[in-house]
Amino acid sequence: MILNVLYLLATITFIFGLKLLGHPETAKKGNLIAASGMALAIVATLIFNEHEVSKKVYTLIGIAIVVGVVIGWVIAIRVKMTKMPELVSLFNGFGGASAALIGVVEFSHTGDNTLQMITIISAIVIGSLTFSGSMIAWAKLNGMMWKDIRLPKYNLINNIIFIGLIVFGAYIVWSQTESIFVVYILLSTALIYGVLFVIPIGGADMPVVISLLNALTGIAAAITGVLYGNMVMMVGGILVGSAGLILTFAMCEGMNRSLVNVIFGQFGETETEGAEGSAAALKGTYKSATVSDVAILMNYSQQVIIVPGYGLAVAQAQHAIHELEQILENKGIKVKYAIHPVAGRMPGHMNVLLAETNVEYDKLVEMDDVNPEFPNTDVVFVVGANDVVNPAAHNDPSSPIYGMPILDVENAKQIIVNKRSMKPGYAGIENELFYNQKTSMLFGDAKSVIQGLITELKGM
């Protein structure tokens, strides 16, 4: 009875914590509340467990908790904002691996319970493919596996393996086999499928697959909760799974992908052709500007909209951009930040980055709300963003990002783009915006450039 009450309290903290994560001002509190709920669930399980547990098992559990806490703490302290997608992918993999291992361990305890067998087989398959897929995603995002490997007819191969997994899993359940060797074959096949599923995916589509793998991790956790009849595991898994699916749909919309294409591996089939077609269509020259030119332009503006991107995070220029914002506002200039749903490689990346510097949340305006404001904006300052402001999404049917919702910065009166060079962005395609007559390129490291603007504006 006491254990169930404590589980209920832990579940409430998960839900309440998740609610608080929806706003930067309360996100930290929400994270701590949810973490406290998890700690409560763990302690309650150890103290009020109905089964007899030896001191040796408690010792091993204690060691595992200490090791996990230390590793998690060190990673959380040292991780950079630019490495957040990789960290999410890594944690996804660990969650999947846990579910798969639980399934393997519990397989021998199923007996002739068909429902329990289905649960275990599902945990093994989903957990294994999530683990291997997440590890490949982590390696690619971390630069350890930069080349997209494409096997001949890889979509057909992947789909055959996927169907084979379902059929083989159904056979294991139907036959009621007790052979652990068969389970290892299933696990190995699922691991292989996870690798083949992620390997061909291009860099521009990687955020979508990470979001999907995150949802699968939650589903795997929920399945293990059903297996043990553990309400906390089940609810926690459902929350992660449902949140991951919502995020997946948001990412699909933001990256112009359908969920069917995500599941069946249609990523990047025309990416190379689209990039070449888009690049070939671009002709003309670009204009460059100096820090002084841009500072004068901003100084005599009435409204400036800043578009932050991954380059801002790489340069660690979030504090500098906030200072620039404050200087402009002190001069009576209205300043907003235009946030694309996938700016910075994943939803919320830029929100968290800017919230770190105490930028007021009301100034972070979502794409649908800010797009109508661009025609009345004197200067748009694009810092490190690329694909999310590329007009090819509207103008070039041959482009792989055609149809993708973007920030309509080309409608502003003047456009300033800060980049290190003219190299393509994450999607690997040229950006039409750079050749727009209203666009001026401000080359250089984002932090150095913004600090230069700050110095110039202070002297005006």
In the structure encoding, which two tokens stand for residue 447, read together?
């932090």
419: left (phi over 0), alpha (psi -120 to 50) or beta: beta
Looking at this protein, which amino acid is placed at residue 430? E
CA 355 to chain centre: 18
Residues in a beta bridge with 151:
none
C-alpha span between 333 and 320 (Å, rounded): 17
Q: What are phi and psi of 283, to 5 degrees?
A: -135, 150
Closest CA to 425 of 382, 395, 394, 396: 382
Q: What is the DSSP string of 90-133?
A: HHHHHHHHHHHHHHHHHGGG-TT-HHHHHHHHHHHHHHHHHHHH
Instruction: Considering the candidates 148, 205, 387, 396, report the single residue annotated as catalytic.
Output: 387
Residue 312, judged by CB atoms within 10 A of its CB (0-12, 13-18, 19+), counts as: buried
Contacts of 242 (CB under 8 A, 6+ apart): 215, 218
Give the CB-side neighbour count of residue 284, counting CA atoms within 13 A. 13
Q: Which of 366, 386, 382 is nearest to 305 (CA)?
A: 382
Which 3 state secondary structure label does DSSP give 425? coil
Q: Which two tokens stand for residue 218?
A: 């939650």
Q: 201 with 268: CB under 8 angstroms?
A: yes
Q: DSSP label at 356?
A: T
The amino acid occupying position 345 is: R
387 is annotated as an active-site residue: yes
- Find the largest Cα–Cα distance for the chain: 81
Token code pair at residue 398: 């041959």
Rounded Cα distance between 326 and 316, Å, is 18
- Residues whose CB falls within 8 Å of the CB of residue 436, separated by 6 or more in sequence, listed in order: 391, 410, 415
Instruction: Please say whether the beta carbons of 134 and 98 come within 8 A.
Output: no
Six token digits for residue 52: 């007899």
Distance CA 249, CA 244 (A): 9
By annotation, the residues acting in catalysis are 387
